[in-house]
With several copies, the nearest count.
Chain A
Amino acid sequence: MGKAIVVKKKAGTAKAGIKKASGALSVEVAGIKFKNPVLTASGTFGYGIEFAPYTDLNLLGGIVVKGLSLRPREGNPGPRIVETPCGMLNAIGLQNVGVDAFIKEKLPLLKKYKTRVIANIFGETIEDYAEVASRLEDAGGVDAIEVNISCPNVKKGGIVFGTDPKEAFKVISKVRSSTGLPVITKLSPNVTDIKVMVRAVEDAGTDAISLINTLTGMVVDVEKRRPVLATATGGLSGPAIRPVAVRMVWQAASVAKTPIIGMGGIMTAKDALEFIIAGASAVQVGTANFVDPDAAAKIVSGIEDYVKRHSTTVRELIGSLKM
């Protein structure tokens, strides 16, 4: 009898566990509730819908679409990518269909899924950024805007918004005032002190911060004595950069007043948990989607296993690093 009760209890706990777990995974970032902390990273998941044949989009906490600009962009000449040790370089050149085509052709399809939609945006001028943000708000169906500031400001001699706190402040202030949608600022890791950038974009009114974008890198073809990429340099992503990303998320979290979304080389649930424990409220999965189009969904279930095993919640794990 005693035994039977124990068994019953266990079964009960397990079921309750499953129910509890779905709540156990949810997080809030920039005022938005995500059912779990796993998003897909911009530029690695197309406009979302392309992955429907390979994974269940409804399982994801959110989808961040390919960076959108005011006008369509054709991108860079090839070669645009090259594999590197435990990583890859890309120089896609921000090819995209443009914000209007996104709203007309992609968004209606994407809206059908039970997941958050975040539009990643960029521009060559501050005005471009603002205009894209405002069109996306008008369109409806976008839950938040992620502002990629790792782009050169053509009006300022090509200085990259994301490596200059003053420029970053200006562009985020402008986007902030152009839209009622939550604004997430995506930081570049190619800076001396990430904390300075965190403060600048928080002062400008960002609702959350995501990092890291890619590290700038180069590969040389020693036989041709040319850079492999047509643009010489490109952005390094993948597991190679994870230790740098975790460190920057930890540093950012130590000063940030807004929530942090961490990314850079996440391949497994364990990797995602490193970011969460270091201070991220959510994570994004990037390059891993190329290796396994079902990677993000697998990471969700791996995190679920972990929180069950440790009888905890993702919310409790955020920034739980002991020193």
Chain B
Amino acid sequence: MEARSREILYNEGVAPGYFRLGLRWKGAGIRPGHFVMVRVSDGLDPLLRRPLGVYRVGHGTVELLYAVVGKGTEILSKKMPGESVDLLGPLGNGFTLPAKGHRAVLVAGGMGIVPLYMLAKKVKKSVLLFGARSAKEASVADDFKGLGINIKIATNDGSVGKKGLVTDLLQDEIRPGDIIYACGPVGMLKKIATIAAHAGVSCQVSLERSMACGIGVCLGCAVKASSHKEASNRNYRMVCSEGPVFDSEDIDWERL
């Protein structure tokens, strides 16, 4: 819980536009679902830190996995081993692990896979449903082999796994008593929330919102709570400090 410069151990392309960033970081105290705020530049532009989930934790190391989508992640992707990067974190509330006897169904869309790795390590006998745009993106799922988790993939082009959407996989997969853990684009999460509600299973989603502070003070990352959660001045939840993981029932999906 401090802003600190971390040494870069590696920063390698996984697939075109996807990078693994390895950092020296001892005693991070990171739980599944945690994220960090990364200062990509010492300069004034881009000004704000970028939120990135923690992917994997090793002995004295932490690995992030990120896609280059704009100028911040572009700058990050050019950093070299030996340089360092200023990180604030770990931040947020992570996933709540399933109670005994419940199967975890992990659902990821694209980079939404990130917070699920540490979760997958903790929840044995679970299944990962991964929706990727391409075979290249889908290759990230290889990291999950050997975790004792069942992996099912859907790609847009059908180049790997099933051709179609990950939510189609979920429709087939879901059983009473399961707990869904999902992260990915809003459209996907919305659909998953509906599927979960229909199936009557509990569902935790990790949300993304533009963030300035990451620590609950700027009030910039608000999402609307669903009406059963509304209170006089508590109609909004902060994704950074009250999330990024929420019970899908607590979110007003119409206004997201």
Q: A residues within 8 Å of B by Cβ?
A: 43-46, 50-51, 53-54, 66, 71-83, 85-88, 90, 92, 95-98, 238-239, 267, 287, 289-294
Most buried by A among B3, B44, B234: B44
- Judge if B182 is at the interface, Cβ distance under 8 Å: no
- Judge if B215 is at the interface, Cβ distance under 8 Å: yes
Q: Which chain B positions have C-beta within 8 A of A46?
A: 216-217
Closest 3 interchain pairs by CB? Answer: A72-B233, A46-B217, A81-B220
Q: Which chain A positions have C-beta within 8 A of B214?
A: 290
- In the complex, besides A66-B219, A74-B235, A78-B224, 14 extra interface pairs with C-beta distance below 8 angstroms are A44-B217, A50-B215, A78-B221, A78-B222, A83-B210, A86-B44, A86-B47, A88-B47, A95-B222, A238-B47, A239-B44, A290-B217, A291-B48, A294-B3
- Judge if B212 is at the interface, Cβ distance under 8 Å: yes
B215 to chain A, nearest CB (A): 6
Q: A79-B209, A95-B236 are in contact. Are A293 and B44 (CB under 8 A)?
A: no
Contact B236 A74 (CB under 8 A): yes
B39 to chain A, nearest CB (A): 7
Q: Which chain B positions have C-beta within 8 A of A287?
A: 47, 212
Q: A73-B233, A88-B48, A88-B212 are in contact. Are A81 and B3 (CB under 8 A)?
A: no
Name the interface residues of B187-236: CB closer than 8 Å to any CB of A.
Answer: 209-224, 232-236
- Judge if B255 is at the interface, Cβ distance under 8 Å: yes
Contact B47 A54 (CB under 8 A): no
Q: Which of B213, B222, B232 contacts A290 (CB 8 A)?
A: B213
A295 to chain B, nearest CB (A): 10
Q: Which chain A positions have C-beta within 8 A of B232?
A: 71-72, 74
Q: Determine the main DSSP class of B at the interface with A.
A: loop
Name the interface residues of B41-60: CB closer than 8 Å to any CB of A.
Answer: 44-49
Q: A86-B44, A291-B49 are in contact. Are A75 and B236 (CB under 8 A)?
A: yes
Q: A81-B210, A293-B88 are in contact. Are A86 and B45 (CB under 8 A)?
A: yes
Q: Which of A45, A73, A79, A290 contacts B48 (CB 8 A)?
A: A290
Cα-based distance from A79 to B221 in the complex (angstroms): 7
Name the interface residues of B2-41: CB closer than 8 Å to any CB of A.
Answer: 2-3, 39
Cα-based distance from A72 to B48 in the complex (angstroms): 28
Contact A293 B3 (CB under 8 A): yes
- Judge if B1 is at the interface, Cβ distance under 8 Å: yes
Cα-based distance from A293 to B91 in the complex (angstroms): 14
Contact A77 B255 (CB under 8 A): yes
Q: Which chain A positions have C-beta within 8 A of B222?
A: 75-78, 80, 95
Name the interface residues of B82-135: CB closer than 8 Å to any CB of A.
Answer: 86, 88
Cα-based distance from A292 to B3 in the complex (angstroms): 7
Q: Which chain B positions have C-beta within 8 A of A75?
A: 219, 222, 236
Q: A46-B217, A291-B48 are in contact. Are A79 and B210 (CB under 8 A)?
A: yes
Q: Determine the main DSSP class of A at the interface with B.
A: loop
Contact B3 A54 (CB under 8 A): yes
Q: B residues within 8 Å of A by Cβ?
A: 1-3, 39, 44-49, 86, 88, 209-224, 232-236, 255
Q: Which chain B positions have C-beta within 8 A of A292?
A: 3, 39, 86
Most buried by B among A85, A98, A291: A291
Contact B255 A95 (CB under 8 A): no
Chain A, Cβ-Cβ closest to B88: A293
Contact B209 A83 (CB under 8 A): no
Cα-based distance from A123 to B219 in the complex (angstroms): 19
A67 to chain B, nearest CB (A): 11
Q: Which chain A positions have C-beta within 8 A of B213?
A: 289-290, 293
Q: A291-B39, A291-B49 are in contact. Are A85 and B44 (CB under 8 A)?
A: yes
Cα-based distance from A88 to B211 in the complex (angstroms): 11
Contact A92 B218 (CB under 8 A): yes
Cα-based distance from A78 to B221 in the complex (angstroms): 7
**9 pairs of residues in contact across A and B, judged by CB atoms under 8 Å:** A44-B218, A51-B217, A71-B233, A88-B212, A90-B218, A97-B233, A98-B233, A291-B48, A292-B39
B38 to chain A, nearest CB (A): 12
A53 to chain B, nearest CB (A): 5
Chain B, Cβ-Cβ closest to A234: B220
A175 to chain B, nearest CB (A): 23
Contact A95 B233 (CB under 8 A): yes
Cα-based distance from A75 to B238 in the complex (angstroms): 12
B2 to chain A, nearest CB (A): 6
Q: Which chain A positions have C-beta within 8 A of B211?
A: 81
Contact B210 A82 (CB under 8 A): yes
Q: A74-B236, A92-B219 are in contact. Are A81 and B44 (CB under 8 A)?
A: no
Contact A54 B220 (CB under 8 A): no
Q: A78-B222, A86-B47, A293-B3 are in contact. Are A50 and B233 (CB under 8 A)?
A: no
Contact A290 B2 (CB under 8 A): no
Contact B218 A290 (CB under 8 A): yes
Chain B, Cβ-Cβ closest to A288: B47
A319 to chain B, nearest CB (A): 26
Q: A53-B1, A79-B209, A88-B212 are in contact. Are A291 and B47 (CB under 8 A)?
A: yes
